Amino acid sequence: MKKRIEYSNEPLGDVRITKDFLASPENLVFRDETVKITISLSRQSVDFFKQVAKAHSTQYQKLIRRLLDEYAVRHKNAS
Protein backbone atom coordinates (compact mmCIF):
# COMPACT_ATOMS: atom_id res chain seq x y z
CA MET A 1 0.00 0.00 0.00
CA LYS A 2 1.23 3.51 -0.80
CA LYS A 3 2.42 5.72 2.02
CA ARG A 4 -0.09 8.46 2.76
CA ILE A 5 1.14 11.99 2.04
CA GLU A 6 0.91 14.36 4.98
CA TYR A 7 0.46 18.01 4.04
CA SER A 8 1.39 20.86 6.34
CA ASN A 9 1.10 24.63 6.28
CA GLU A 10 4.79 25.31 5.64
CA PRO A 11 6.47 27.68 3.15
CA LEU A 12 6.64 26.24 -0.35
CA GLY A 13 10.09 27.55 -1.17
CA ASP A 14 11.06 29.04 -4.55
CA VAL A 15 7.76 29.27 -6.46
CA ARG A 16 7.66 30.51 -10.04
CA ILE A 17 4.59 31.16 -12.16
CA THR A 18 5.01 29.73 -15.64
CA LYS A 19 3.35 30.76 -18.86
CA ASP A 20 0.48 28.49 -19.94
CA PHE A 21 2.14 25.76 -22.00
CA LEU A 22 -0.96 23.76 -22.92
CA ALA A 23 -2.27 23.95 -26.46
CA SER A 24 -5.55 25.72 -27.05
CA PRO A 25 -8.59 23.52 -27.75
CA GLU A 26 -8.53 24.64 -31.39
CA ASN A 27 -5.00 23.24 -31.76
CA LEU A 28 -5.98 19.89 -30.27
CA VAL A 29 -8.49 19.10 -33.01
CA PHE A 30 -6.80 17.29 -35.88
CA ARG A 31 -8.37 18.10 -39.19
CA ASP A 32 -7.05 16.08 -42.06
CA GLU A 33 -7.71 17.30 -45.55
CA THR A 34 -10.46 15.08 -46.91
CA VAL A 35 -11.92 14.48 -50.33
CA LYS A 36 -15.51 13.36 -50.76
CA ILE A 37 -15.96 10.36 -53.01
CA THR A 38 -18.68 7.88 -53.82
CA ILE A 39 -17.79 4.23 -53.28
CA SER A 40 -19.77 1.02 -53.29
CA LEU A 41 -18.88 -1.41 -50.52
CA SER A 42 -20.22 -4.84 -49.73
CA ARG A 43 -23.05 -5.01 -47.22
CA GLN A 44 -20.89 -7.38 -45.14
CA SER A 45 -18.09 -4.80 -44.85
CA VAL A 46 -20.41 -1.92 -44.01
CA ASP A 47 -22.23 -3.98 -41.37
CA PHE A 48 -18.89 -4.96 -39.83
CA PHE A 49 -17.65 -1.35 -39.60
CA LYS A 50 -20.99 -0.17 -38.22
CA GLN A 51 -20.86 -2.84 -35.52
CA VAL A 52 -17.29 -1.97 -34.52
CA ALA A 53 -18.04 1.76 -34.60
CA LYS A 54 -21.07 1.33 -32.37
CA ALA A 55 -19.03 -0.68 -29.85
CA HIS A 56 -16.46 2.13 -29.70
CA SER A 57 -18.87 5.10 -29.90
CA THR A 58 -17.49 6.47 -33.14
CA GLN A 59 -18.51 6.84 -36.78
CA TYR A 60 -18.08 3.91 -39.15
CA GLN A 61 -16.91 6.21 -41.96
CA LYS A 62 -14.07 7.38 -39.73
CA LEU A 63 -12.98 3.78 -39.14
CA ILE A 64 -12.94 3.05 -42.86
CA ARG A 65 -10.99 6.26 -43.54
CA ARG A 66 -8.39 5.43 -40.89
CA LEU A 67 -8.03 1.90 -42.20
CA LEU A 68 -7.42 3.18 -45.73
CA ASP A 69 -4.99 5.85 -44.47
CA GLU A 70 -3.00 3.25 -42.54
CA TYR A 71 -2.93 0.92 -45.55
CA ALA A 72 -1.71 3.73 -47.81
CA VAL A 73 1.04 4.82 -45.39
CA ARG A 74 2.37 1.29 -44.89
CA HIS A 75 2.48 0.52 -48.59
CA LYS A 76 3.89 3.91 -49.53
CA ASN A 77 6.79 3.39 -47.09
CA ALA A 78 7.35 -0.18 -48.35
CA SER A 79 8.03 1.03 -51.90
**For 6-40, how does the pLDDT look when each residue is reduced to its tens digit (9 = 90+)?**
888 888 788 888 777 777 777 766 777 889 999 99
Range of the domain at 77: 44-79
Residue 55 lies in a domain: yes
Q: How many CA atoms lie within 13 A of 55 on its CB side?
A: 7
Q: Which residue has the higher pLDDT, 59 or 16?
A: 59
Residue 77 lies in a domain: yes
Domain tally for the chain? Answer: 1
- The amino acid that residue 12 corresponds to is L
Residue 13 lies in a domain: no
Residue 34 lies in a domain: no
Instruction: Assess whether pLDDT exceeds 70 at residue 1.
Output: no
**Model-level pTM?**
0.58
Average pLDDT of the chain, as a whole number: 86
Residue 59 lies in a domain: yes
